[in-house]
């Protein structure tokens, strides 16, 4: 009785919990976890509500199919069932469950075949169902699921598992292989079992390949990551899983120290050569979710491979964090300079007003006096003190420099405090250009060599300025000696340019993920040529240029002939006396529906 009472209390106060073998289960999964693999894949299925236009487009039988139904059935009910299964098989590439057949499709075929509602759609007889399945397979040329189809699915899934990480993508590749080989789709549970086995086999073989490439010294260095020394509170394996922090100066230095420590672990990434980046990121995510105790229970091949994938992914994430901090610091520096310019413009309004007053007096003197000598004497009488003239000269220069959006002179004061750490960050990333223009990188190397010098200006001939805009070049040059360049402004300009190009993708960070050179993942031209025949065979196109042009011309000719044949029945378009065709004036909703119908025809 006490046990029943406690169970009732638990069910009352914990309505969301369910009993399992070890107590209450975990909380309900999130929305992303709740989405099943079936919903993520392109496995053919029927939606709960099919639109009338889709039913008309997908499930209207042709004259040849109606003739097939007449020859393969003896009664109207069998004819209706046969054609319904045929159209659903063409749409799903598999035979649907009897409870999966939409009533809208059956009703549409009743209208097309002129069969009344009194004749039911009956698919419960196993003998008749097997006979109809066999007839439909012979008519469509699609073979049933067998050992050969399983071999094709396993091969396609294994090849996809070597380069793809998500199970839904691998299963989609398996479906594409079955459709290409013209085999019937099996039950989703069958494909799911095959998927689990091919993923496990691909990951096991990949781990074995990485393990064989690892030297004995590298294995000893990785084993040391699970050892806790006297001065440590946790293993180095936990430190590898450290997540990047928000962009700040302190965190930038910590990120660079962490990246330098990761580089000291000894893995240069040669063991992972040939492994797809998406697979490395997925398996690194699995390694990040495990702890040191769980890692020790893995096989040596899997344990060392997970270590290497985690270290490689941690380096990439660290590089991404440093690059993001550089981009953030550049934006912060320019924003603060713009804000400072706005404040100075507000403060100098009174000075500008005084200057305009003085200038107005001079204009009045020139307008009222015709004698130039007297005008000069009156102007000199206005400014008698040398100190006042110098003050006005400074006010004019300040007004000229602070006018408009010219905030470049104010960048240095917001940049100088972060100069050393930014130098270190840019040099640690080892940026590389995606094009042949490396003038900015040569200018940066020159600045690194002269970073400890105190000279304010550099010779213009020694500075590559091909990357700089006209505005920057005008500001970099000395106001009196055009052959000199301001070193401080050049440093700010080069760093701003590198950051902008990095954010735009024109520069990349080797070993990164978000700022990597994605051209390295593209297929080479010889590899594309070797795969071209297989690709053309799958899509049904000739592999040569002449054959492709002839096939395209044939398809366009057939499409034009089909459109011309159906034109008299098309109510969405009409012809005028001049021969021009246009859609009639209708409401927007009706116009879109008629336009879509016209495009489908």
Question: Using alpha carbons only, how large is the chain's radius of gyration in Å?
Answer: 38
How much is the pLDDT for 260?
Answer: 81
Q: Which of 46-55, 353-362, 426-435 has the lowest mean pLDDT?
A: 353-362
**Residue range 552-571: mean pLDDT, rounded:** 84
How much is the pLDDT for 7?
Answer: 33
The span from the CA of 499 to the CA of 491, in Å, is 12
Cβ 181 vs Cβ 142: under 8 Å:
no
How much is the pLDDT for 26?
Answer: 32
Cβ 484 vs Cβ 467: under 8 Å:
no
**Residue range 405-420: mean pLDDT, rounded:** 81
How much is the pLDDT for 510?
Answer: 86
pLDDT-derived band at 198, boundaries 50, 70, 90: very high
**Residue range 361-388: mean pLDDT, rounded:** 71
pLDDT tens for 451-461 read 677 777 888 88
**Residue of 185 and 363 predicted with greater confidence:** 185
How much is the pLDDT for 197?
Answer: 93
How much is the pLDDT for 398?
Answer: 66
Tell me the C-alpha to C-alpha distance, in Å, between residue 296 and each of 75, 217, 222, 411, 570: 68, 19, 12, 53, 71
How much is the pLDDT for 6?
Answer: 32
Pairing of the two strands 457-459 and 432-433: unpaired
Q: Which helix (H) or strand (E) holds 508?
A: strand 507-508
Cβ 408 vs Cβ 475: under 8 Å:
yes
pLDDT tens for 17-65 read 332 332 322 333 344 444 677 777 778 888 777 888 888 888 889 989 9
State the chain's maximal CA–CA distance in angstroms: 123
∠ CA(571), CA(576), CA(579), 5° rounding? Answer: 105
Query: Please, which contacts does 480-488 make with residues 24 or more away whose CB atoms are closer than 8 Å?
Result: 481/457, 483/459, 484/457, 484/458, 484/459, 484/460, 485/457, 485/458, 485/459, 485/460, 486/456, 486/457, 487/447, 487/450, 487/453, 487/455, 487/456, 487/457, 487/458, 488/412, 488/456
The span from the CA of 327 to the CA of 252, in Å, is 12
- Give backbone dihedrals phi and psi of 61, rounded to 5 degrees, phi first: -75, 150
Average pLDDT over the chain reads 79
How much is the pLDDT for 51?
Answer: 84
Q: Hey, what are 399's tokens?
A: 């007004």
**Residue of 265 and 589 predicted with greater confidence:** 265
**Residue of 139 and 491 predicted with greater confidence:** 139
The span from the CA of 283 to the CA of 314, in Å, is 12
Q: Which of 113-117, 173-177, 357-361, 454-458 has the lowest mean pLDDT?
A: 357-361
pLDDT tens for 120-177 read 888 788 888 899 999 999 999 999 999 999 999 999 999 999 988 888 899 999 999 9
10 pLDDT higher than 90: no
588 pLDDT higher than 60: no
Read off the DSSP letter of residue 458: E
pLDDT-derived band at 235, boundaries 50, 70, 90: confident
pLDDT-derived band at 186, boundaries 50, 70, 90: very high
What angle do helix axes 103-113 and 63-71 make, rounded to 10 degrees? 90
Sign of CA dihedral 144, 145, 151, 155: positive
Cβ 341 vs Cβ 410: under 8 Å:
yes
**Residue range 188-206: mean pLDDT, rounded:** 91
How much is the pLDDT for 247?
Answer: 66
107-143 in b/e form (b: 16+ CB < 10 A) is ebbbebbebeeebebebeeeebbeebeebbbebeebe
535 pLDDT higher than 60: yes
How much is the pLDDT for 184?
Answer: 93
- Give backbone dihedrals phi and psi of 558, rounded to 5 degrees, phi first: -65, -40
The span from the CA of 165 to the CA of 158, in Å, is 12
How much is the pLDDT for 580?
Answer: 47
How much is the pLDDT for 14?
Answer: 33
How much is the pLDDT for 29?
Answer: 39
**Residue of 582 and 461 predicted with greater confidence:** 461
**Residue range 542-563: mean pLDDT, rounded:** 90
Three-class DSSP category at 144: coil
Q: Which helix (H) or strand (E) holds 581?
A: strand 581-582
224 pLDDT higher than 70: yes
How much is the pLDDT for 19?
Answer: 29
How much is the pLDDT for 213?
Answer: 87
Most confident of 11-20, 32-41, 304-313, 472-481: 304-313
């Amino acid at each position: 009785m006490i046990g029943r009472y406690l169970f009732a209390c638990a069910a009352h106060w914990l309505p969301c919990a369910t009993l399992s073998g070890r107590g209450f289960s975990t909380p309900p999964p999130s929305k992303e976890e709740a989405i099943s693999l079936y919903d993520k894949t392109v496995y053919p299925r029927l939606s709960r509500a099919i639109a009338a236009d889709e039913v008309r487009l997908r499930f209207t039988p042709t004259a040849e199919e109606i003739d097939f139904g007449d020859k393969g059935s003896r009664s109207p009910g069998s004819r209706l069932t046969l054609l319904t299964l045929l159209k659903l098989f063409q749409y799903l590439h598999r035979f649907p469950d009897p409870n999966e057949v939409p009533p809208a499709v059956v009703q549409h075929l009743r209208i097309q075949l002129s069969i009344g509602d009194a004749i039911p759609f009956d698919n419960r007889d196993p003998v008749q169902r097997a006979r109809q399945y066999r007839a439909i397979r012979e008519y469509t040329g699609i073979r049933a699921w067998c050992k050969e189809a399983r071999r094709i699915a396993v091969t396609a899934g294994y090849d996809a598992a070597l380069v793809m990480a998500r199970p839904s993508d691998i299963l989609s590749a398996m479906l594409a292989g079955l459709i290409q080989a013209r085999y019937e789709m099996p039950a989703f549970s069958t494909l799911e079992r095959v998927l689990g086995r091919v993923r496990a086999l691909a990951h096991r073989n990949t781990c074995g390949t990485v393990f064989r490439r690892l030297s004995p010294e590298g294995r000893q260095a990785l084993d040391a990551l699970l050892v806790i020394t006297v001065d440590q509170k946790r293993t180095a394996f936990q430190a590898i899983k450290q997540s990047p922090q928000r962009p700040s100066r302190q965190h930038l230095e910590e990120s660079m120290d962490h990246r330098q420590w990761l580089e000291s672990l000894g893995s240069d990434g040669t063991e992972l050569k040939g492994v797809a980046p998406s697979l490395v990121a997925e398996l690194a995510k699995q390694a990040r979710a495990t702890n040191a105790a769980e890692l020790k229970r893995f096989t040596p091949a899997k344990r060392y491979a997970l270590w290497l994938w985690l270290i490689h992914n941690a380096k990439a994430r660290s590089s991404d964090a440093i690059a993001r901090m550089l981009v953030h610091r550049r934006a912060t520096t320019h924003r603060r300079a713009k804000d400072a310019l706005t404040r100075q413009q507000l403060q100098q309004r009174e000075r500008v007003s005084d200057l305009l007053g003085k200038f107005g007096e001079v204009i009045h003197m020139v307008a009222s006096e015709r004698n130039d000598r007297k005008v000069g004497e009156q102007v000199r009488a206005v400014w008698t003190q040398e100190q006042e003239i110098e003050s006005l000269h400074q006010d004019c220069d300040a007004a000229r420099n602070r006018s408009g959006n010219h905030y470049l002179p104010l960048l240095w004061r917001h940049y100088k405090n972060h100069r050393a750490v930014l130098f270190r960050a840019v040099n640690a990333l080892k940026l590389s250009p995606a094009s042949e223009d490396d003038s900015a990188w040569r200018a940066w190397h020159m600045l690194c060599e002269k970073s400890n010098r105190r000279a304010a200006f550099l010779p213009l001939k020694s500075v590559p300025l091909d990357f700089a805009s006209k505005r920057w070049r005008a500001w970099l040059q000395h106001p009196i000696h055009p052959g000199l360049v301001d070193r401080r402004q050049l440093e700010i300009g080069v760093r701003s340019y590198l950051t902008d190009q990095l954010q735009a993708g024109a520069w990349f960070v080797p070993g990164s993920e978000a700022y990597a050179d994605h051209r390295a993942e593209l297929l080479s031209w010889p590899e594309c040529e070797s795969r071209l025949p297989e690709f053309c065979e799958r899509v049904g196109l000739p592999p040569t240029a002449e054959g492709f042009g002839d096939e395209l011309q044939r398809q366009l000719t057939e499409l034009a002939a089909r459109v011309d044949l159906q034109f008299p029945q098309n109510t969405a378009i009409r012809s005028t006396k001049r021969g021009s065709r246009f859609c009639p004036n209708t409401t927007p909703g009706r116009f879109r529906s008629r336009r879509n119908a016209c495009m489908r025809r």
